Amino acid sequence: MFDLKKEWSISFAGCGFMGIYYVGATSCILERFPRFIQDASKIYGASAGALTAAVLTLGIPLEKCCADLMSIAKEARKHKLGPLHPSFKLLQRVQDTLLKHLPEDAHVRASGKLSVSLTRVSDVKNVLVSEFDSREELIQALICSCFVPFYCGVIPPRYRGVHYVDGAVTDNLPGCQLKQTITFSPFAGESDICPQASTLNLPEVRFNNVSIQVNSENLYRVTSTFFPPEPEAMAEICHNGYRDAFRFLQENNLISSECPIRNLAIDSFKYVCCEVVKESSVKAQQDGLNPLWEDHSWLDPHLVENLPIEIQRVLCVACRETRTTDGLFSYMTGYLPKKVTSYIQIPYSLPVELVSSLSQRLVYWIPDLQRDMSWLYSMVGDIYKQALKDDKEESDSLDKSSLSCLQTMQNGMARLPCSSKQAHIAHFFYLKVLYLH
């Protein structure tokens, strides 16, 4: 049972595009029991969880973060290979979003409370960063924590001049071992706030402190971490996050009496998420078309009915932008053939796009070319030296072991009959030959 009299912390696991789950979960907590986040002594995070931790620490409106995440996911789905397409720059989009939303004093407000999980490249050790000297330094730490090797690029970003990669590589749920740390994860497992598994007594695996049950639902969630699903599916994930957080608050008697209570079972949904498009709907009605806010075919209202209105609107607009109001026939005759044609053209168009993308990245990389190449050579040299050192230590250890064995055998053979001595000497030289080869 959660004890409000003791100090507590919060930790968010890394989860890529599944971070939409945190939007729903934290929106419930901010609506029902905001003190849970406001009075937390530390807010930990790794990768996408670090971005959520920064948003909560700085008090950035969740609907803005939701809109940015849906926009990045939409951009990723446009490409034939999704986020793996060479022209898609995930970290550049994340950095632009941070520059747009983080206030000038973000580093001052984040220092001491926000804790970002990083993995140092030089020794593959986990580092928790909680102090930031500038806004740019805070952004650098967040970018480093989100850098998945090869998925995001080859040369890792730097924080204070040192190369780091995704904190999830070494600790995907920082601070979870501490008492009174409430853990968030979009994967069904043993975290405090996470989806409930549809089947009990399932085996689980632990990925750097994150408990993940082995089932088909979690397999889908892991896939969605790297390849964003359609907007309606992301809206459902967000709504599930809200429900899971609400269940946690109920089980721990943390529903604040100061906050208005909304029933989670709403009998009739009035499409309040579409108030922003009512004017265009009225015009459509005047032209003899069905009003958008009455049709609402692009998003099942029950998938977002419990979310705050601002987040409902963001999800509604994102779904409306990807669905036509003409129904399935329009999809089959318009969008689907274009999509199939685009996949057929991949062997021809991808090389051209690859050359163009690599050229753009090369221009972007040129200012840091000398420094990054020096780092690559240095890293390869360190690995080679360490391999030689380990090989030499192993060789010395084996030589000492062989010498000790020889002395022991000599002492023992002094007391053996002649025939036994000859057999032991032959056996010793046989072992020596095997060692040399």
SS3 213: strand
Q: Among 47, 191, 211, 224, which one carries the catalytic annotation?
A: 47
Rounded to an integer, what distance in angstroms lies between the CA atom of residue 306 and that of residue 279?
Answer: 25
Are 215 and 188 a contacting pair, CB within 8 Å? yes
- Is residue 85 within 8 A of residue 356, CB to CB? The reply is no
Three-state secondary-structure class, residue 45: strand
Known catalytic residue at 111: no
In the annotation, is 244 catalytic?
Answer: no
Amino acid in position 267: D
**Which DSSP symbol is given to 178?**
S
Please report which residue ranges of 366-417 form alpha helices under DSSP H.
369-413
In the set 9, 117, 166, 191, the catalytic residue is 166
- 130, 141 contact by CB (below 8 A): no
User: How far apart are the C-alpha atoms of 222 and 296, rounded to whole Å?
Assistant: 30
Q: Which residue has the tokens 């209570």?
A: 261
Annotate 224-249 with DSSP letters as a single string.
HHHS---HHHHHHHHHHHHHHHHHHH
Q: Which residues are catalytic, by number? A: 47, 166
